[in-house]
Structure 1
Amino acid sequence: MNSNLRKFVPVVVLILFLCCLGTRSTVQSVFSWPDEMNLIKGQPAQLQAAVPVQAQIQVDHPDVLQVNGSADHFTRVSLKSPVQLTPQHSGQAQLKLKLFGSIPLKTVNVHVVPDLRVFPGGQTIGVKVKSAGLLVVGHHLVKSGDNRSSVSPGEGAGIRLGDLITHINGSKVNDLALISGTIEQSGTSKKPLKVTLERNGKKVQTELLPEYDQEDRAWRLGLYVRNSAAGVGTLTFYAPDQGVYGALGHVITDMNTQTPIVVGSGEIVQSNVTSISKSESGDPGEKRANFVKESKTLGNIERNTHFGIFGKMTEEPNHSLYPKPIPVALASEVKEGPAEILTVVDGQKVQRYRVEIVHVSHQDKPATKGIVLRISDEKLIDKTGGIVQGMSGSPIIQNGKLIGAVTHVFVNDPKSGYGCFIEWMLQDAGVMLKDQQAPTSLKAS
């Protein structure tokens, strides 16, 4: 056979193969396997294809991952039946699906993590966080006199709401009061300040010349800024082997600009629920709580992501319902059906409440809105009306495993809401290998 023609044989065979598969849905099933998978050591998983053909799967590290119980590098499989994956040891393995032993169809990178066990939370926590700079939350006009109209120097310099000022004249800044002398010197000398800020994850440089406010008798930048935030949420988990925790299940944003807060420092502390404003259609309600007086710090805050806040914690907090850590479930294991959430509605006592998982989204990559749940416990409905703000982060337990956290309430149906998979929270906590994120935003609970 001519060598040039030989090159096209695999392509022709593949085209004929796809034609033989028939329906579009069947073709999609062949290529729907994820590019990346997390598996837990000792917990089997399956890949579904439902295609009536024989194929070959090559695994580069069968000591890490076995296919259909085989410890060989090459295994012949029938794609009509589910492909069984058995994670043997922690590590990484690459799985290659080939037709006729030579035509590549799909490559899956598998990360096998140790048997993960964590303490589910449910405790109400107080959250105190300082941003890594000054968050611009508004512009204000400086009345400079001299028959000139009022101006905002900051707005004139192109500084926008939601920008994070990180440096002024090359020095880190997180409190305007500490640089009042620098601002006055800039104004009197007419030498603009060199301002560095972050905008949508990018560094921006600008120059800003303060104006003298005749009413305040002080030099002003024409900016309203904020450098801290505080609130109440729920602890989701504590991982004792790694000494880390996760909470909230959603990002903390500035109340004025809805900009995610870039953490400079922060801490979580014990909190006590004093009352509940019940949820109603159109009004998500809220937990009312206060920080326990002289309570010790439970942990620090190192990251604020689309899946919550994360940091170090040295011991299990009080009021846990579990004397020992429990297993976690990966996103692929979560099923529709009964489950329970752990949360506090009075004082500091964590309680279990029945819920129903009514929808599970297929997510190969981190994304919010993975779980739709509905409160089915009449006691919780009588107390709260459903999901309320401050309940976000409440752990979701199914079949004895931690599967996720409550994140958002349906404003027009407060008995229902969204949850995120615990797998994505564990990635952001650094417990599991992290892939790419594609988050969305909703009304936080």
Structure 2
Amino acid sequence: MAVLLLIAGFLGLNMTVKALFMSFGTNVAIGDPLLPRGLPVKFFKVKILSGQPRITWNPAQGIVPVATVPGRVDMQIKLLGLIPLNHMVVNVVPAVRVVPGGHSIGVLLHSRGVMVVGHAVITDPQGNKHNPALEAGILNGDVILKINGRRVQSEQQVRSEITRCGQTGSPVTLEIKRGQRIFTTRLNPVFCAETKRYRIGLYVRDSAAGIGTLTFYEPKSKKYGALGHVITDFETNRRIDLEDGQIVEAVVQGIRPGRRGQPGEKIGLFTGDGLTGNIEKNTSYGIFGSLRQPLANPLYPQPIPVALVYQVKRGPAEILTVLRGNRIGRYSVEILQVMPQNRWEGKGLVIKVIDPELLRQTGGIIQGMSGSPIIQNGRIVGAVTHVFVNDPTRGYGVLAEWMIYEANLLPKDKKVA
């Protein structure tokens, strides 16, 4: 059984140290991520200062430490066994194994409040032009959280409350969220001669829907990850603050291939059968929640390990996705770059589609393919996220390690004082 080293804090030289796979009694050749680059690993020695001492390491063979039990370990690395180089506290936890996805899903998401997606000029019965919302400083991308002190749950609720205030001659009070700032504003509805109702000059949206791909499912916790990127409003490109949502099974009915400057897309239909789950988080690394029933993948009957950043290499890999109906296919890709420093924007990989059949049917990466798992050497290493508009054969991927942190399948790193 494999275990994982998570760096909780380190002192000494400024070295890049991420997480490491260790294994119970089995050496895993992965190079020297614990050590400064450019020096042979045989010059270094690991000393256990406290915690579980049952860790062995053979630097002459270029392997990582081997742990026998999980636990907290205080470790020190020395050059030639004499000169301290690095001091770190690590947590050894079981490795994460997941069922790979590739399943097409329909995504239904309701926002917290309603998002402003546009403005409209109102013409009153006398022919005068008004836009109360714009005059009050309300902008595209703002989120209306409350109206007249009541929590907003739908655009229909906003419309009804504006009508009521207009008919009684009272102002509308809105609580607005803009970024991290929340403020209140008041405005007077205007009777619209065209629509024959009271309006404040806003277009708002309370939900989003689309087709995507499931990335993984963890059987013990029933947690899943999908899409690999945040869901934003199409009009404003702002992240949708999640109120609630669900995923359902979808079938692919057709493909519109991608071309240079013109992204393609899957044409799908929500079925509501089989795969269903809730949406608990909408983040830069995808959407996350729990499935209501177990999930299987015929191409991978057993769960496979999730790769950490240092285990992802340039070279051949495969993606799993659906091109017709609900049948998952496997297709060849090439990992061109691994960029762990891009975590803040969720783009850790650059990939290129090289599979002849996938290129023939789709032209490369298309909309609806987001979340398709990327598998390399028997490990899930990431998920497809974006396409290069000027070259649909290439695109970005998010690293799987980042996704399992967001799914709370691994504890967050904690600094040690």
The reply to whether TM is greater than 0.5 is yes
- 2:5 is matched with none
Does residue 1:276 correspond to 2:250, yes or no? no
CA contact (8 A) 1:302 1:309 kept: yes
- The CA distance in 2 between the partners of 1:134 and 1:183, in whole Å, is 14
Asked whether the equivalents of residues 254 and 324 of structure 2 are also in contact (C-alpha less than 8 Å), the reply is yes
- TM-superposed deviation, 1:387: 1.2
Partners of 1:183 and 1:219 within 8 A in 2: yes
Question: CA 1:128–1:181 in structure 2 vs 1: closer, same or farther (change >3 Å)?
Answer: closer
Equivalent position amino acid for 1:377 in 2: D
Query: Aligned to 2:195, what secondary structure does the other structure show?
Result: coil
Aligned partner (choices 7, 11, 15) of residue 32 of structure 1 = 15
Q: Distance in 2 between matches of 1:102 and 1:203?
A: 57
* Comparing 278-287 and 43-52, the one that deviates more: 43-52
Cα deviation, 1:64-83, whole Å, max 9, x if unaligned, reads 894747xxxxxxxx9x9979
Q: CA deviation at 1:59?
A: 5.6
Larger Rg: 1
- The answer as to whether partners of 2:192 and 2:199 remain within 8 angstroms in 1 is yes
Instruction: Decide whether aligned partners of structure 1 residues 156 and 367 sit closer, same or farther in structure 2, where only a CA change above 3 A counts.
Output: closer
Tell me the amino acid that sits aligned with residue 42 of structure 1: S
Tell me if 1:244 matches 2:223. yes
Higher relative contact order (CA 8 A, sep 6+): 2
Which stretch shifts more, 118-127 or 40-49? 40-49
Deviation at 1:31, TM superposition (A): 2.1
1:89–1:170 distance in 2 versus 1, CA, 3 Å: farther
Aligned residue pairs, count: 395
TM-score by length of 1: 0.79
Runs of 5+ unmatched residues, structure 2: 1-11
Percent of matched pairs sharing the same residue: 42
What residue number does 1:123 align with?
Answer: 103
Give the secondary structure class of the aligned counterpart of 1:280: coil
From 351, 368, 371, the equivalent of 2:329 is 351
Q: Distance in 1 between matches of 2:287 and 2:155?
A: 26
8 A Cα contact 1:250 1:407, kept in partner: yes
Aligned-partner Cα distance in 2 for 1:87–1:205: 56
Q: What is the Cα deviation at residue 379 of structure 1?
A: 1.4
Q: Does structure 2 conserve the Cα–Cα contact (< 8 Å) formed by 1:47 and 1:83?
A: no
TM-score (norm: length of structure 2):
0.84
AA of the residue aligned to 1:48: L
Gaps of 5+ in 1: 1-28, 70-77, 437-445
CA shift in 2, pair 1:55/1:274, >3 Å:
closer
Q: Is the Cα–Cα contact under 8 Å of residues 48 and 76 in structure 2 kept in the other structure?
A: yes
The answer to whether the Cα contact below 8 Å between 1:41 and 1:90 also exists between their aligned partners in 2 is no
Contact 1:275 1:287 in 2 (8 A): yes
Match of 1:175 among 119, 134, 154: 154
Conserved 8 A contact 1:38-1:110:
no
Stretch moving more, 169-178 or 114-123: 169-178
Displacement after TM superposition at 1:328 (Å): 1.1
Secondary structure, aligned partner of 2:153: coil
Q: Distance in 1 between matches of 2:171 and 2:91?
A: 52
Q: Could you say which residue in structure 2 is the equivalent of 1:5?
A: none
Q: CA deviation at 1:194?
A: 2.9
Kept in 2: contact 1:98–1:106 (CA 8 A): yes
The alignment yields a C-alpha RMSD, in angstroms, of 3.3
Bigger shift: residues 209-218 or 382-391: 209-218
